[in-house]
Chains A and B, each alone.
Chain A
Amino acid sequence: MASSSTRYLVPLGAFLALAALLFYGLGLDPSKVPSPLVDKPLPAFALESLKEPGTMISSEVLKGKVSLVNVWASWCPSCRQEHAELVRIARGSGVQVVGFNWKDDRAAALEMLRRFGDPYALIFYDPDNRVGIDLGVYGAPETFIVDGDGIIRHKRIGPIDGKVWEQEILPVIKKLTPKG
């Protein structure tokens, strides 16, 4: 029989397919949970400003401009890791970088900005995770790209570095920014 010689290849093929599937699975990061908020409006909120105690900032101020809303905290090592990149982005790209200081202490947060630079046009202060839950934040750093209409267009979980900026963030921002 002609098929009998190829028949023994079927288990091998099945094994290779399974191995490929499992190998692909190894590359996935289970700590990255896709956000259901992408392509939905940013929930409306108002929080105290980190830099000006007592002043409330409404999420309305984000309207009219593409913003990078970066969730950070001074206790978070990965936030410190990405901080220099955020400073670079704020200085060089023209995108508005907005801070969302999460479950942090004001003095410690301001100290971190004093030492490593302040990339943020404004900073929401959410020490008790009041608004963080509404945004589906479950770790820091997380970064939302919010368009001029206040719609969340992308969510990055984990630190931003040069490569992430070039390959993941910038293309989304370019798509949102009208040409000309």
Chain B
Amino acid sequence: MSLRLLLTPALLAALLAGGPAAAFTFQDFPFDTPAQERDFRDLTSKLRCLVCQNESLAASQSDLAQDLRKEVYAMMRAGKSQAEIRDFLVERYGDFVLYDPPVKPATYLLWFGPFVLIGVGGFLLLRALRRQGRAPEQTPSPDEQARIEQLLAAADDRQEPLK
């Protein structure tokens, strides 16, 4: 508790002091046409920052992300296509930089695993349901029948006062 009390003002101060100063804006990367800028945003938001792995290259404030944004910007200005830029980064950093990994043997499990799981689960469920439907009705033995009647009678008696 006391630690939290101590930390909160410190965190707030850090946020207030560090946030705006470190922020980057797309104004750092001027383009001739809005379409180019849209392409740049589009591409960098599909690329993953290697340092802050849950952030895209468009969102990350890390130093490396800024370097890579500059690189992507320079390549776009040089007229490279989105596919060329993507390939450039994949060659160096691996499929990991893509938020949308390609389908290939190494990623089969990632792409098809969920469907396999659903398939297996569905198959087991169907089998269980079918088996249940096929199970023969069992007639209770005389002993069980007597017990059932006894219990039902007792339940009826108990419910009487409620009526």
Residue in A36, A129, A138, A139 with the greatest tally of chain B CB atoms within 10 Å: A138
CB contacts (< 8 Å) of A34 on chain B: these are: 94, 96
Q: Give the nearest-CB partner of B92 in chain A.
A: A136
Question: How many cross-chain pairs have Cβ atoms below 8 Å apart between A and B?
Answer: 38
Q: Pick the residue among B68, B90, B95 that contacts A133 (CB under 8 A).
A: B68
With the chains together, A133 CA to B90 CA distance in Å?
Answer: 11
Task: Take A103-B63, A138-B64 as given contacts and tell me if A133 and B50 are in contact as well, using a CB distance cutoff of 8 Å.
Answer: no
CB contacts (< 8 Å) of A57 on chain B: these are: none
Task: Take A33-B50, A138-B50 as given contacts and tell me if A129 and B94 are in contact as well, using a CB distance cutoff of 8 Å.
Answer: no
Q: Are A138 and B51 in contact (CB under 8 A)?
A: yes
Instruction: Report A53 CB to chain B, min CB distance, Å.
Output: 23
User: Does A47 belong to the interface (CB within 8 Å)?
Assistant: no
User: Does A39 belong to the interface (CB within 8 Å)?
Assistant: no
Instruction: Report A125 CB to chain B, min CB distance, Å.
Output: 16
Q: Are A136 and B63 in contact (CB under 8 A)?
A: no
User: Does B29 belong to the interface (CB within 8 Å)?
Assistant: no
| Chain A contact residues, CB within 8 Å of chain B | 30-31, 33-37, 103, 129, 132-136, 138-139
| Chain B contact residues, CB within 8 Å of chain A | 50-51, 53, 63-64, 67-68, 71, 90-96
Q: Give the nearest-CB partner of B96 in chain A.
A: A33
What would be 27 A-B contacts, judged by CB atoms less than 8 Å apart? A33-B50, A33-B96, A34-B94, A34-B96, A35-B93, A35-B94, A36-B90, A36-B91, A36-B92, A36-B93, A36-B94, A36-B95, A103-B63, A129-B64, A129-B67, A132-B67, A133-B67, A133-B68, A133-B71, A133-B92, A134-B92, A135-B92, A138-B50, A138-B51, A138-B64, A139-B51, A139-B64
CB contacts (< 8 Å) of A37 on chain B: these are: 92
CB contacts (< 8 Å) of A136 on chain B: these are: 92-94
Instruction: Report A70 CB to chain B, min CB distance, Å.
Output: 18
The secondary structure that dominates the A interface is: loop
With the chains together, A133 CA to B96 CA distance in Å?
Answer: 15
Q: Give the nearest-CB partner of B64 in chain A.
A: A138
With the chains together, A129 CA to B92 CA distance in Å?
Answer: 13
With the chains together, A136 CA to B97 CA distance in Å?
Answer: 11
With the chains together, A129 CA to B64 CA distance in Å?
Answer: 9
Q: Give the nearest-CB partner of B49 in chain A.
A: A138
CB contacts (< 8 Å) of A36 on chain B: these are: 90-95
Instruction: Report A157 CB to chain B, min CB distance, Å.
Output: 10
Known: A34-B96, A138-B51. 6 other contacts (CB 8 A): A31-B53, A37-B92, A136-B92, A136-B93, A136-B94, A138-B64
CB contacts (< 8 Å) of B53 on chain A: these are: 30-31
CB contacts (< 8 Å) of A30 on chain B: these are: 53
Instruction: Report A3 CB to chain B, min CB distance, Å.
Output: 12
